[in-house]
Amino acid sequence: MSTILEKIAQIEGEMARTQKNKATAGHLGLLKARLAKLRRELITPKGGGAATGDGFDVAKTGDARIGFVGFPSVGKSTLLTNLAGVYSEVAAYEFTTLTTVPGCIKYKGAKIQLLDLPGIIEGAKDGKGRGRQVIAVARTCSLIFIVLDVLKPLGHKRIIEKELEGFGLRLNKQPPNIVFRRKDKGGINLQTMVPQTELDLDTVKTILSEYRIHNADITLRYDATADDLIDVVEGNRIYVPCIYLLNKIDQISIEELDLIYKIPHCVPISAHHKWNFDDLLERMWEYLKLIRIYTKPKGQLPDYNSPVVLCSDRRSVEDFCNKIHRTIMKEFKIAYVWGSSVKHQPQKVGKDHVLEDEDVVQIVKKV
């Protein structure tokens, strides 16, 4: 392990010393590729399997999963206790939470699992503390709450982002719009849809040679960076939404609070006093991109108390049926839908129809 860390330190040192210009783009791309490969070795030990440990691998339940990530003693446990009513040990000393503490809240009919993860420290991505296990659980979450102390937010924010990035987590980013296809022969074929400032054919070839890829088709649909190409080649990156919770706002002035509200992806709160929880839950719902579909049994009124909750990227009638029970699609004939996804109320639709939030659906089975 120490040899991998030494190699990482050497490469990072060389990258820091290398000036950024057109002449060094290929060399920097090669160093970044080597760094990504070493980090992958660090994430996945040679024995294989995920880097979890006792008390870390909590069974996934509910419609979505949110992980609380932050330094020790920033208020993660207090937040879980006051949001979900689950007791997570709170004390004035650091590292009170030593394992993952799960909780659950119900919001707008959706069951959302909350995970209070142990505090991470600088160097977590390199295996310090129990950082690797913490970040391995964070990779399974639908949304991450980075809990920061409002009195020292920026320093902590940068460190935590660096730790999560080093573990293949990309926060509030879309996957790179790059088409990458390996082939058996024909060399490297690069197509660019827009002018590129960082990547040219030589740089791309240099990066791919580090992965022993000598035949591939690559299409760059935007002005991409070497890091974007490496992310696509590695193929193990997790793109996850993230909200920064600036805790302990009872210790700052109203003027400072106004400034904080202008920072993107930030919600100021006081976990101890339960201040601004309404805004936090509303923002949480927006970032999770969940939709509620109500069921309507034949000849009865819709059931508005227990909606079927779907992700916005998987919300066809077929997804809706599978969420209720896997066997429904075998007997499915058509569905009647009321709501904003149809022109007529009701409208007869097939299994591929895409549903919208708060639609009402009635399933008709084959006789």
pLDDT digits (tens, 9 = 90+) for 87-124: 655 544 344 445 778 889 999 999 999 988 877 666 55
* H-type alpha helices, the chain: 2-17, 25-43, 76-84, 131-138, 153-166, 201-210, 226-234, 254-260, 277-288, 317-324
Residue 339 has pLDDT above 90, yes or no: yes
Q: What confidence category does residue 166 fall into, taking pLDDT thresholds of 50, 70 and 90?
A: confident
Query: For residues 82 and 88, what is the distance between their CA atoms, to the nearest angstrom?
Result: 10
Helix (H, G, I), strand (E, B) or coil at 239: strand
Q: What confidence category does residue 209 fall into, taking pLDDT thresholds of 50, 70 and 90?
A: very high
The pLDDT > 70 percentage for the chain reads 88
Sign of CA dihedral 86, 89, 92, 95: negative
8-state DSSP, 331: S
Residues 278-300, buried b or exposed e (16+ Cβ, 10 A)? eebbebbbebbbbbbbbbbeeee
pLDDT at 53: 44
Query: For residues 229 and 224, what is the distance between their CA atoms, to the nearest angstrom?
Result: 7
pLDDT at 52: 43
> Which two tokens mark 132?
């690797």
* Mean pLDDT over the full length of the chain: 85
Query: For residues 19 and 16, what is the distance between their CA atoms, to the nearest angstrom?
Result: 8
Q: Could you tell me which residues are beta bridge partners of residue 95?
A: none
pLDDT at 243: 96
pLDDT at 362: 95
In this prediction, residues 223-242 reach a mean pLDDT of 93
Q: What confidence category does residue 348 fall into, taking pLDDT thresholds of 50, 70 and 90?
A: very high
Which domains occur in the chain, in start order? 2-48+176-234 (no CATH), 64-173+238-287 (3.40.50.300), 290-365 (3.10.20.30)
The pLDDT > 90 percentage for the chain reads 50
* 298-322 pLDDT per residue, tens: 889 998 988 999 998 899 999 999 9
In this prediction, residues 211-222 reach a mean pLDDT of 94
Residue 46 has pLDDT above 90, yes or no: no
8-state DSSP, 138: H
Interacting residues of 20 by C-beta distance below 8 A, sequence separation 6+: 28
Residue 186 has pLDDT above 80, yes or no: yes
> Which two tokens mark 17?
């010393």
pLDDT at 293: 95
Amino acid at site 94: E
| pTM confidence score | 0.83
Query: For residues 308 and 294, what is the distance between their CA atoms, to the nearest angstrom?
Result: 6
Residue 143 has pLDDT above 90, yes or no: yes
- Residue pointed to by tokens 């069921």: 295
pLDDT at 130: 58
Q: Let me know if 83 is exposed, middle or buried by CB neighbors in 10 A (0-12, 13-18, 19+).
A: buried
Query: For residues 84 and 116, what is the distance between their CA atoms, to the nearest angstrom?
Result: 11
Residue 126 has pLDDT above 80, yes or no: no
Q: What confidence category does residue 168 fall into, taking pLDDT thresholds of 50, 70 and 90?
A: confident
- Residue pointed to by tokens 């580090």: 210
> Which two tokens mark 155?
């320093």
Residue 204: closest CA among 181, 188, 221 = 188
- Residue pointed to by tokens 């600088």: 122
Going by their DSSP bridges, the two strands 347-349 and 266-268 should be labelled as unpaired
Query: For residues 2 and 9, what is the distance between their CA atoms, to the nearest angstrom?
Result: 10
Cβ 216 vs Cβ 248: under 8 Å = no
Q: What are the helix and strand counts (H, E) for the chain? A: 10, 16
* H-type alpha helices, 167-303: 201-210, 226-234, 254-260, 277-288
Residue 55 has pLDDT above 50, yes or no: no
Helix (H, G, I), strand (E, B) or coil at 145: strand
Angle at CA of residue 196, ends 190 and 198, nearest 5°: 100
